[in-house]
Amino acid sequence: MKFQTTLLQLGNNVGIEVPQSVIEELGSGKKPAVIVTINGDYTYRNTVGIMGGKSLLSLSAARRAASGYSGGDEVEISLELDTEPREVVIPAALQQAFNENPEAAAAFTKLSNSKQRAEADLVAAAKTDETRDKRVAKLLASLA
């Protein structure tokens, strides 16, 4: 699906409003996972969200910097359903904790993909073993 639009500037956030006709044509519910291509030269994966009754895709600050696009730009958007599984890389320390606590591992798998990724990235970003261990313990406690 392709459509023309203006990138929405909403405060510090930039988004792409997806026409309802495009959502319907994708045929995968109101919040489909999609592959977004802007002007044929910048592609990323995202999930449609709903805000204020509008179907929106986010364009994060990092993606804006990488793509060179910003709020107010006129663009052509191409969307296709993203059918690839979204996999989260689990850091070794977190995997070890899950091996020792299967209930926590099961609870973790019930979190949304983005929440799993955020938690795993937080553990992976720890600069010291002490920080990593604290983050793992905090996550395990939250999953109990």
Domain positions in the chain: 2-81, 92-143
Give the residue-averaged pLDDT of 103-115.
Answer: 92
Instruction: Taking each helix axis as running N to C, give the angle between helix 102-109 and helix 113-124, from 0 to 180 degrees, rounded to the nearest 10.
Output: 130
How far from 4 is each of 7, 22, 41, CA to CA, in Å?
10, 11, 15
Superfamily (CATH H level) for 2-81: AF2212/PG0164-like (2.40.30.100)
Q: What is the pTM of this model?
A: 0.66
- Check the CA dihedral 110-115-119-121 and report its sign: positive
Per the DSSP assignment, residues forming a β-bridge with 57 are 16
Task: Report how many helices (DSSP H) and strands (DSSP E) the chain contains, helices first.
Answer: 6, 8
pLDDT in tens, 55-90: 999 999 989 999 999 999 999 999 999 988 878 999
